[in-house]
Amino acid sequence: MTPTRHLLEIDDLSPGELVRILDLCETPTAPDSAVSGELAGRSVGLYFEKPSLRTRHSSEAAVTRLGGHAVTFTNAEVGIGTREPAADIAQVLSGFHAALGARVFDHQILEDMAAASSIPIVNLLSDLGHPCQALADLRTMRSELGDLAGRTVCWVGDYNNVARSLSIGAAMCGMQVRIASPVGYGPTGVDVDRLRAAGHDTAPFVTTHAAEAAEGADAVHTDVWASMGQEEESEARRRAFEGFQVDDRVMAAAASTAIFMHCLPAHRGEEVSASVADGPQSRMFAQAHNRMHAMIGLFRWLVEIEAIQ
C-alpha cells in the first residue's frame, strides 16, 4: 500500500511537487459565487491549539470553494494528550474526513498524528514550521517576480516557524536566501545544512545586520519578534531585536523593485515600520489573500495524487 502523504514541512514535497502545487494554485479559480468539485461530498478537519485569522478562514474558504465542508475544532473540545492521544484522534478522524489540518504548539503532535493517520495531515503552523504560509509566500513572489530561480529572498528577524518554511521553499525554487537575525535567534547549523540541501548545495547568506541581508533582495520578509506561546519573552525579545525593524533604510538596501512581505499579524513600530507595512512596496495583504489560493492548490494536488480519494 502506498504510504499516506502528509505536509508537515515544505520539504516533504519534492521540488517538482512544490511547483505543481503552485501551478494548481494558479489554475483560474471558479468565480466567487461558484465552486469546483474536487472535494464535493467530502469534509476536512481543521484543528487549532492557537489563535488564527488567516489560516482558519483561508482553509475553510478553500474547502468550500472546492465543494467540501470544513469542521474546525479546538483542543478544548478534544483534549489532545489529556482526553485522548493525538494518534487515536487521527485514527478516528481518518474514518470521517478527507484530510486533517492542525495548528499545534508542539510539532511532535503532528508527527504522532501522521504516524497513525490514513488521511493527509497538514501542518497549519507548529513551533517548527508553517508550510502552508510558505506556499502562499511563494505564490505571491511568483505572481510579483515571475520565475523565482535566481531571484533573492531576504528574511529579517526571528528564524522561526515562518522563516524556516519560507527559506526552505525558496531554496527549493532556486532562490538565493539571505537571513539577518540577532545572535541566538538565527538559523542553527542544522537549519543551514537543510537550506543547503534544499538549494542544491547553495548556502544561505547569514548575518546579524538587517540592511546587509537586504542588499539586492527582490523580496524582504519579516515576522513578529515574539511568536504565539512566547508572550512571556516579549520584553527580552524586544531588546534583542532592536535594529531588526524592516524600515525605509532596510528597504533602500534591497533592489529598487523589491517587495515587502509579512505573514501577519504585523506589529507596526516593532518588526516593521508603518511606512513600509503600508507603503507602496508592501504586498502583505495580497500575500494574506494568497493563503486561500495556496490551500486550493494544496487540496487539488492531494486529490490529483490520490492522497485524497
Is residue 70 part of the contact set for ligand CP (CB under 6 A)? no
DSSP SS3 for 273:
coil
Task: Indicate which of ligand NVA, ligand CP, none lies near residue 191 (CB less than 5 to 8 Å, by partner kind).
Answer: none
Q: Count the residues of the shown chain that bind ligand CP, applying the rule CB under 6 A.
A: 8
Sites of contact with ligand NVA (CB under 6 A): 125, 160-162, 223-224, 227-228, 263
Pairing of strands 219-222, 205-207: unpaired
**Shortest distance (Å) from residue 257 CB to ligand NVA:** 26
**Shortest distance (Å) from residue 105 CB to ligand CP:** 13
User: Does 249 qualify as catalytic in the annotation?
Assistant: no
Show the 3-state SS of 285-297: HHHHHHHHHHHHH
Which residue out of 158, 218, 223, 247 is catalytically annotated?
223
User: Does 132 qualify as catalytic in the annotation?
Assistant: no
Cβ proximity to ligand CP: between 54 and 221 the closer is: 54
Q: Output the CA–CA distances (angstroms, integers) from residue 265 to 58, 151, 209, 262, 304, in the order listed.
A: 15, 26, 24, 8, 32
User: Does 291 qualify as catalytic in the annotation?
Assistant: yes
> Which long-range contacts does 94-99 make (Cβ < 8 Å, 24+ apart)?
94/118, 94/119, 96/43, 96/45, 97/42, 97/43, 97/44, 97/45, 97/71, 98/39, 98/42, 98/43, 98/44, 98/68, 98/302, 98/308, 99/44, 99/45, 99/299, 99/302, 99/307, 99/308
Which residue in 54, 64, 89 sits closest to 75, CA to CA? Answer: 89
Task: Indicate which of ligand CP, ligand NVA, none lies near residue 290 (CB less than 5 to 8 Å, by partner kind).
Answer: none
**Shortest distance (Å) from residue 223 CB to ligand CP:** 9
Task: Indicate which of ligand CP, ligand NVA, none lies near residue 214 (CB less than 5 to 8 Å, by partner kind).
Answer: none
Which residue in 172, 209, 217, 218 sits closest to 194, CA to CA? Answer: 172
Binding letters toward ligand CP, positions 23-52, x by CB under 6 A: -----------------------------x
Q: Which residue from 263, 272, 295, 296 is in contact with ligand CP, where contact means CB under 6 A?
A: 263
The three grid cell numbers given for residue 84, joined into one nine-digit string: 485522548
**Shortest distance (Å) from residue 51 CB to ligand CP:** 6
Q: Which residue from 53, 197, 252, 274 is in contact with ligand CP, where contact means CB under 6 A?
A: 53
82 class by beta-carbon count within 10 Å (0-12 exposed, 13-18 middle, 19+ buried): exposed
Catalytic site residues?
Answer: 103, 130, 133, 223, 263, 291
Q: Which residues bind ligand CP (CB under 6 A)?
A: 52-55, 125, 133, 263-264
